[in-house]
Amino acid sequence: MTNARNAGAQIARNGEVNVADVMEIPAASETRIVRWIATVFYRFNSGIVDVQHDLEEIEDLQDLVEKGPHWDTIDHIHIVRSDKQYAELTVEQAEALRG
């Protein structure tokens, strides 16, 4: 699998796929604060191609999916927090932080 953002949107898997031809990939500098990393996995004839999006707000993913290839070509989406400061925080601990 290939990561479009890291490859400068010049995706090529077996020389067949260029994700930049089917969707606009925002430059990394367009997002000031990265709180979420969403990776969208698209099905192409040549295989699965993944496109990483660095997001400040998770709701921004909807617009990026709408701008991309047809949503029925999405195999799956993987979303993780980019900030590992609270990687081990539990729900109960978070409630206690609220005071």
Containing structural domain, residue 68: 19-97
Give tens-digit pLDDT for 1-45. 444 444 333 344 445 566 666 666 555 545 478 999 999 999 999
Give tens-digit pLDDT for 34-61. 999 999 999 999 999 999 999 999 999 9
Domains in the chain, number: 1
Task: Output the pLDDT for position 4.
Answer: 46
Q: Which long-range contacts (CB under 8 A, 24 or more apart) does 81-86 make?
A: 81/35, 81/36, 81/37, 82/34, 82/35, 82/36, 82/37, 82/54, 83/35
Domain annotation covers residue 31: yes
Domain annotation covers residue 4: no
Domain annotation covers residue 50: yes
Domain annotation covers residue 69: yes
Domain annotation covers residue 52: yes
Domain annotation covers residue 45: yes
Domain annotation covers residue 57: yes
Domain annotation covers residue 1: no
pTM score, whole prediction: 0.66
